[in-house]
Amino acid sequence: MTAPSVPTLRQRRTAARLAAVQVLYEMEVADAAVEAVLTERKSRQLPSVDNGAAERFVEPDVAFLEELVRGVVLRKEDIDRHLAAALTGRLVLSRLEVLLRAILRAGAYELLEMPDVPGRVVISEYLELAHAFYAGKEPPLVNAVLDQLATRLRTPSNGR
């Protein structure tokens, strides 16, 4: 068996984005407090090496995970306002599935608060997450909404 390679920062951030969406989902479904869910998430053990899963598991960047989750919680009203403006037709944020809202909120937070992360990276990461959970119209919706937010929020005129 070969030694597992050390995950890159990009891989750890990708894992953190997934974990953040899971935490946001759990918080909403269980009506749980952010610190309780984060503490529980951090206490989970890595898969056992015996079953081979540990070699495929990438430990998330914990600081990034916590920044995403706490940021979404702190800026939820502002994020939801931006998302509501980006939704078209009969789509209403409150009527979207909880998981879809979690994906959109995390992506929107990154676009709002992390100008050092390129918009195309944010869109690509959350689109990939959407594809991991959905096979229907949800991934194109994530792409369209986050693309619209990136265009609006990342223009040179507003310093992004």
Instruction: Tell me the pLDDT tens digit for each residue of 59-98.
Output: 889 899 999 999 999 999 999 999 999 998 788 898 999 9
Q: Does pLDDT of 5 surpass 80?
A: no
Q: Is the pTM of this model over 0.75?
A: yes
In 3D, which of 128, 122, 129, 114 has the Cα closest to residue 146? 122
- Give the whole-angstrom CA distance, residue 146 versus residue 83: 8
Range in 43-52, 57-66, 74-83, 102-111 the model is least confident about? 43-52
pLDDT (mean) for 136-153? 95
Instruction: Report domain extents, the chain.
Output: 9-158
Q: Does pLDDT of 7 surpass 80?
A: yes
Burial class (CB in 10 A: 0-12, 13-18, 19+), 117: middle
- pLDDT value at position 123? 97
Q: Does pLDDT of 49 surpass 60?
A: no
CATH fold of the domain at 9-158:
N-utilizing Substance Protein B Homolog; Chain A (1.10.940)
Burial class (CB in 10 A: 0-12, 13-18, 19+), 108: buried
Residue with tokens 């009506």: 31
